[in-house]
Structure 1
Amino acid sequence: MTEPIVDAAPALDFDLKNLPKVSLHDHLDGGLRPATIIELAEAVGHTLPSTDAVALGEWFRESADSGSLVRYLETFDHTIAVMQTKEALVRVAKEFVEDLADDGVVYGEVRWAPEQHLQKGLTLDEVVDAVQEGIDAGVEAVAATGRDIQVGQLITAMRHADRSQEIAELAVRHRENGAVGFDIAGAEDGFPPSRFKDAFTYLAEQHFPATVHAGEAAGLDSIRSALLDGRALRLGHGVRIAEDISVEFEVDPENDGEEAVGMVTLGELAAWVRDRGIALEICPSSNLQTGAIAEFGEGIESHPIDMLYQLGFNVTVNTDNRLMSGVTLTNEFELLVETFDYDLDDLLELTLNAAEASFLSLDEKEALVEYINDAYANLAG
């Protein structure tokens, strides 16, 4: 299968922060405010690299910017350590929602692993309830300012643990209390979705949707397993699907013999992901930090997100971990505009991709899509 790569569109000249956004891949323990971490750490006696909010934020960003997913994940030791009580979970979740709203997010799905928050004696159900209480408080606080936001929980099981069935049942148990989907996260390489096949089968039997981290630290086999064994409706990151795409460069005789992009060929897996509209939860800055796109180049300009988007993949834009990457969703859109010259139509399409890939009901999706289209139409007008 071959497709031509289309040229990018012209750049924008307006503030992106006011645009309505949809966030599908954003970790709760990767989105804390540095000042909050300091206060919570002091309360539980946890030692931090710094007790200055600015310096602590810089430490997280520098530690994450290593090109290693393993080292990137080590930064979570500090955030998880301060998220072990009901009060802390409520506060972190509330602030998480408020920060999303401040960035223009109108719908978000927050993913987190309840099994990592049991050190102080809380049960799995109690921690889910605490996070939902914080989400509800955040939504209410945002509404008090005249804005609206909706946020659902993606209940996550850690790949290196053996609690996937238990966590899957937890997610289904809370489907009427804010849980909208299931995920597996953590060390991807060596822990394929096939290890959790029974849990994914249970979720399918319960008609409960799953998104699976795949195609970040591991390649095409991980994506295959996410689709086959995990029955994934979305791929968390999924950026390495680009490894199943070949690009041929040809000499352009009408341009002084300079190399020009010719045709691209999609492998069977890439074609399946594209043609079935399986959403890619791409996180540009994080992908650069963790080395997920190392095969394609060193800088953001080498990120295959533009190629995937131009070829018709169901690309969505996300932040992954706002604290570690030092970004917001607005920042990520600005980065794409600056790097690939995206225009308003491009940003609208990427946002609608995310809205339609959300785990909302059909009626809720249609209302969200209408809201986003109206907002963009008013801007364009």
Structure 2
Amino acid sequence: MQMCLSHPTHGYYANPYNPIFGARGDFITSPEISQVFGELVGVWLLSQWMQVGQARKLRLIELGPGRGTLVDDILRTLSRFPACAKAIQDVHLVETSEALRSVQEAKLRPILSRLDVAAHWHDGLDRIDVSAQNEVYSMVVAHEFFDALPFHLLQHTSDGWKEILIASADNTNNQAQSTDNPAESTAQDSAGKQTRFQTVLAATPLSKVLAASSPRFDKLPVGATLEVSPVAWSIARQIAQLVGGKNAGCALIIDYGAEHLFGNSFRAFKNHRHVDPFSIPGECDLTVNVDFAYLKEAASDAAQALGPIPQADFLTGMGLEQRVEVLARAAQSEERADSIRQAARRLVDRSSMGEQYKMLGLVGKDREIRTDTVWPFATS
């Protein structure tokens, strides 16, 4: 999965000929649908900085910035508040694709120039200085980032947990035991040669380690499958360390998934349609649902978790309707006003994005919080 998405020359995100986003691409994201999404995310981040006294400089960090639309909307929102605009120290973007880095730089150049701040690109979150949290307030955003991280697929058998691996259908080794119903698939390489694949079960060292990484997994019955990402666990902990401490920062993780485990959510998209994940590797988007409970467990040592709550609840609670009406009234035509309203309705549609996407907030573990200070999240 990581090679198919992030290979420096053949990966899905690295290839400039893959449109990826928008109507011509393979999927469309909330920030691309309406500017209001990024504005309300920016307002929430701003409110958290204001709650800790506005005393420190701040830095904005986004993981997987796409075309840069979300971070651009956030910066535009923050810049409308003079004290906040002066406090912005720099912007950090975690992006491995050189092609997307170029798109992001072009998108952000005007707002960065106006604010007189610099942007820095990183291959990983671990490249960002954690010790600086005592000097700056970190605002971290990860939108549709965790769903693209590599994962391991485990199955609970009568002999314990085993890992489901991918093998050539005509070249399985003796150490791997075929599953009862192997999922077969066919891939075609650049020379047109076809290879069949199937899933096989194997007792790997990781199968035991990952199965023990959450107490929730112990309750799964024999026969259950489990998608688990150690990379997601690691990055969630890194985010928690960045925002950890009493007033160190805040984070928003936005993705589709739920606060429970998944066992069969791996899928691929091409031209807004489901395709076989093995059919055209490097040319389609690969994704898996996010287990938000797993992220909360990973972050629990350093951060307090807020939510997750559905995207519709977050956006509505942050004033989506009021902001949309302001934009609609300012539109130059009734058609444009209708388009603004329709886009907003799509974001909060309970039969689709409004419920499928969840928003998870993180703040420092030592911070004293009340329900009104972390609105629209409710505290237990």
User: Could you say whether these structures have the same fold, taking a TM-score greater than 0.5 normalized by the shorter chain as the test?
Assistant: no
What TM-score comes out, normalization by structure 2 length? 0.31
Highest RCO, 1 vs 2 (Cα 8 Å, sep ≥ 6):
1
Of Structure 1 and Structure 2, the greater helix share is in 1
What TM-score comes out, normalization by structure 1 length? 0.31
Radius of gyration: which is bigger?
Answer: 2
Of Structure 1 and Structure 2, the greater strand share is in 2
